Amino acid sequence: MVGARSHPHIAKPRNWAKALIGIILCLLLTSCSGGRPSISLAPTPEIIRKAIVLQVQHSQTALSAQLKTAPPNLKIRHIKVDQVESLYLAKLPTYHLQGHYDLSFELPDQILEQSRNSFDIYLQRQREGKTWRWLRPEISSTEENPPQPQHWLTYRVY
């Protein structure tokens, strides 16, 4: 019996099968990734600072209106983001950021300093990618359900 030689075309179906299985696995893994936006597109530190200022101003404006005083000048410093979660809301990339910052209030007769204030904000990149919006959950609660965000109020971050 003469030595058996493998034909080069016989090995190709195995290579094709391996390649096909590899492609299918890649597609499955990619589609199962949860469809989260890339962290590389997360807001810059300047956008985060502006959003925190907007959030603090929003609460201070309401307080100042009740006290019938002018809102104080605010300075946000030493922002530290501890956690970033990316998700899609209304088909737009959104980032849930948590961390802390230092705050200075300039009042007419004094300056108040607060250290390590915590923040928990949602920032959403708009379709064209040039602007950001701060999302504030509008909480509604019923007797049978705990508070849940049902709608989002949005504010442009300048």
Q: Give the residue extent of every domain in the chain.
A: 46-157
What is the distance between the alpha carbons of residues 114 and 105, in angstroms, rounded to a whole number?
A: 8
* Secondary structure (DSSP) of the chain: -PPP---HHHHHHHHHHHHHHHHHHHHHHHHTS--PPPGGGSPPHHHHHHHHHHHHHHHHHHHHHHHT-PPPEEEEEEEEEEEEEEEEETTEEEEEEEEEEEEEEE-SS-EEEEEEEEEEEEEEE-TTSS-EEEEEEEEE--SSS--EEEEEEEEEE-
| Residues constituting the chain | 158
Please give the model's pTM, rounded to 2 decimal places: 0.71
126-155 confidence digits (pLDDT tens): 999 899 999 998 877 666 666 555 689 999
3-49 confidence digits (pLDDT tens): 555 555 555 657 766 766 666 654 554 444 468 999 999 999 999 99
Q: How far is CA 61 from CA 50, 67, 138, in A?
A: 16, 10, 18
